[in-house]
Amino acid sequence: MKFTLFCFITLLVLASCENDQTQSFQVTQPVDHDLNLKTQTYIPRLTQACPGLNRYSKDLTSAIVGTSAMEGYKGGLELQFQVVQKPQELPAPLNIRSAQNSCYISINKEGSRAYIGKSACHSICKGTWQENSSGLMGREFALK
């Protein structure tokens, strides 16, 4: 009885350790001090608004950070990453529609809004195919 209880507890501990090692959306930290500070502040907001970035991060390359030049987002951040050739985590049909897409996310200067232009990229946020926001060529997300 004691041996069975010991084995059961050991399995529970091992299972909980495995769950703690979840991968998250990777960002190559910029050398520029101001961009680095914005990155550290804005990425948690972005991944909260777009949880699929963390959930499906194994299918995404590490994002490169730059300064956004997009109208309405100037002075903010631009993230660029790619979906791998054969996604393993993304559900169908995203695993096919998003494969090998280069994705760009613009975050405004205040860190309150993010814009993702391609359906194949912004659909990753919810893990289901999403249409563009009304009147836009992509989807806009409010960041908190």
User: Burial level of 68, CB count in 10 A (0-12/13-18/19+)?
Assistant: buried
Mean pLDDT of 15-26: 60
pLDDT tens-digit readout, 115-125: 999 999 999 99
Does the pLDDT at position 32 exceed 80? yes
pLDDT at 39: 96
Mean pLDDT of 106-123: 97
Residue 27's CB is within 10 A of a number of other CB atoms, namely 20
Does the pLDDT at position 14 exceed 80? no
Q: Indicate the pLDDT class of residue 1, thresholds 50, 70 and 90.
A: low
Residues in the chain: 144
Mean pLDDT of 48-58: 98
User: Burial level of 28, CB count in 10 A (0-12/13-18/19+)?
Assistant: middle
pTM of the model as a whole = 0.83
Scan for tokens 């949880």, then name that residue. Answer: 51
Mean pLDDT of 98-111: 97
Does the pLDDT at position 30 exceed 70? yes
pLDDT tens-digit readout, 68-80: 999 999 999 999 9
Phi and psi torsions of 81, nearest 5°: -150, 170
User: Burial level of 39, CB count in 10 A (0-12/13-18/19+)?
Assistant: buried
For the chain, give the percent of residues with pLDDT over 90.
80
Measure the CA angle with vertex 89, ends 99 and 78; round to 5°.
Answer: 55
Quote the mean pLDDT of the chain: 88
